Amino acid sequence: MGKPAAAPPPIGIGKLPGSTPISRLSNVEWGWVICAAIFAWIATRAEQAAAEGLDTELTIRTTGFVPDPWDGGAVATILPELADTPGIDWAKPLAEWPRDDMVAFLTTALGLIRKATIARDIGGGTIARKREPAELNDPVPF
């Protein structure tokens, strides 16, 4: 059985002309390029997992980056709630926080991060404030 055909790249005949300057790409065209890169990365990681007999979903999420983007995403979701931690004087520099304040803050952060990683790993509900649904024609956020 042969190898399945990969999704065609967004650049070439009938797609983005190969000579198009990057500065002239529209938001939709940037979306195509980014999606193609993400899908290629996922396909490669899935292929590696299958070849090594590993769990595909876990392998795709194992990036090898430090800090891991999966952990960074979970931490980013808890920041609004962490900022609402009572008793923290945000006007003080971190080095001037009393030990008890630092312990309370880090304990709160650890609990929220655990909650976020559990929700990320097994699902089952939201862990952050809900956002308004995005419009389909929103610009690319960069």
The 3-state DSSP class for residue 11 equals strand
Percent of the chain with pLDDT over 90: 14
Say whether pLDDT at 112 is over 90. yes
Q: For the residues 54-58, what does the mean pLDDT come to?
A: 66
Give the range with max mean pLDDT: 15-19, 84-88, 127-131: 84-88
Handedness of CA 52, 54, 59, 62 (dihedral sign): negative
Residues with Cβ < 8 Å from 22, sequence gap 6 or more? none
Q: Helix 69-83 crosses helix 99-122 at what angle (to 10 degrees)?
A: 130
Q: Who wins on pLDDT, 118 or 61?
A: 118
Sorted by where each begins, the domain ranges of the chain are: 1-62, 64-130
- Residue 29 CA to its chain's centroid (Å): 21
Which range has the worst mean pLDDT, 49-58, 62-71, 109-118? 49-58
Q: What is the pTM of this model?
A: 0.51
How many angstroms separate the CA atoms of 64 and 66, rounded? 7
Task: Say if residues 62 and 44 touch (Cβ distance below 8 Å).
Answer: no
The 3-state DSSP class for residue 118 equals helix
